[in-house]
Structure 1
Amino acid sequence: MNEMTKAPASKSQSPLSIFDRPLGEPLGWLRTEIDRLFDDFGRPTRSVFNFGQRGLAPVPALDMVDDEKAYRLTAELPGLAEKDIDISVADGVLRISGEKKEETERKEKGFLFSERRYGAFERDVPLPSDVNPDAIKAQFKDGVLTVTLAKDEKAAAHTRKITVEKA
């Protein structure tokens, strides 16, 4: 029999396996937890909204399309309702913010299961100089926010070509 067959099989560790360790190894568990914390730091999440989970604050992705008369900005905000979203404009910046509050409570076989998830986001978008801030409209349907940013026709008239002279 060779030495390879005598080696003990490795045992995967679960969070409860800390109680199986000898008393001389409490710092090993702490080091493992600290290493895991640093490994998870900055790791991207799978979903736009991972409320109640570790990681950075959720921020919805935005798309902006330019057509002839307006810009159209869209954001996917799953699980939110119109009342959860706040949109404002000030000093050439459009701010979209929202908050999700979810609470569930269930009783089964003498046990109470209660879960709460909270999360908020805020996103600032600098507006193009030709947007008319008084003509911004927003619609929300099926978890998708669409903000229409009408162009100011007068802003285009204020542009002029500057000739470059030889020095």
Structure 2
Amino acid sequence: MMEDFFGPLGWRGRLGPWGSAAWPRVDLEEKDDEIRIRAELPGVDKDDIDVMVNEDSVMIRGEKKEEEEKKGKGAYVLECYQGFFERRFFLPSEVEPDRAEATFKNGVLSLKLPKSPAARERVKKIAIRGE
């Protein structure tokens, strides 16, 4: 039983190859003037995704619908995620929600979140002195 639980299709298989149930996978990058987020959403229709942005957080939620009903005899493995998903991120800097942009292409959701003027002013490069 333990081999079934920890085996290739057991516990780790259910949580993904990295041992995490977080889906969709996301990259979050902070630039000087904006925050960029990329979320991989293969098999999800653009109309089934909602993005909510406020000054300090982003929520991505939606549904990946089953493409076809599985009928008939035979063995099959269901590892691809289906169903509702939701990810929430607290942002490293304050952003301007009214200027946020979202695009969806080839199963990838891209968000550009311009930083607020106050957040841009707080980041200062300082000189490093020698001894």
Common fold: TM-score over 0.5: yes
Structure 2 CA distance for aligned equivalents of residues 62 and 104 of structure 1: 27
Partner of 1:45: 16
**Secondary structure in structure 2 of the residue aligned to 1:102:** coil
Query: Which structure 2 residue ranges, 5 or more long, are not aligned?
Result: 73-80, 125-131
Q: Structure 1 CA distance, aligned partners of 2:17 and 2:44?
A: 18
**For the residues of structure 1 that align with 2:119 and 2:82, how far apart are their CA atoms?**
42
**Which has a greater percent of strand?**
1
- Compute the displacement of 1:46 (Å): 4.7
Correspondence 1:20-59 to 2 at 5 A: 34-39=1-6, 40-43=10-13, 44-46=15-17, 57=21, 59=23
Q: 1:133 to 1:84 in 2, by over 3 A?
A: same
Q: Cα 1:62–1:159, aligned 2, differ >3 Å: closer, same or farther?
A: closer
* Alignment size in residue pairs: 114
Counterpart residue number, 1:130: 94
CA–CA distance in structure 2, aligned partners of residues 129 and 87 of structure 1: 18
Which structure is larger by alpha-carbon Rg, 1 or 2? 1
In the alignment, the residues of structure 2 paired with residue 118 and residue 159 of structure 1 have an alpha-carbon distance, to the nearest angstrom, of: 41
Choose between structure 1 and 2 for higher RCO, CA contacts under 8 A separated by at least 6 residues.
Answer: 2
Gaps of 5+ in 1: 1-33, 48-54, 107-111, 161-167
Percent identity between matched residues is: 38
Shift of 1:71: 1.5
Secondary structure (helix, strand or coil) at the match of 1:83 reads helix
Give 1:130 shift. 3.0
Q: Given residue 141 of structure 1, which amino acid in structure 2 is its aligned partner? A: K
Distance in structure 2 (CA, Å) of the matches to 1:95 and 1:156? 22
TM normalised by structure 1 equals: 0.54
The 5 A counterparts of 1:53-92 are: 57=21, 59-90=23-54, 92=56
Q: Distance in 2 between matches of 1:91 and 1:70?
A: 12
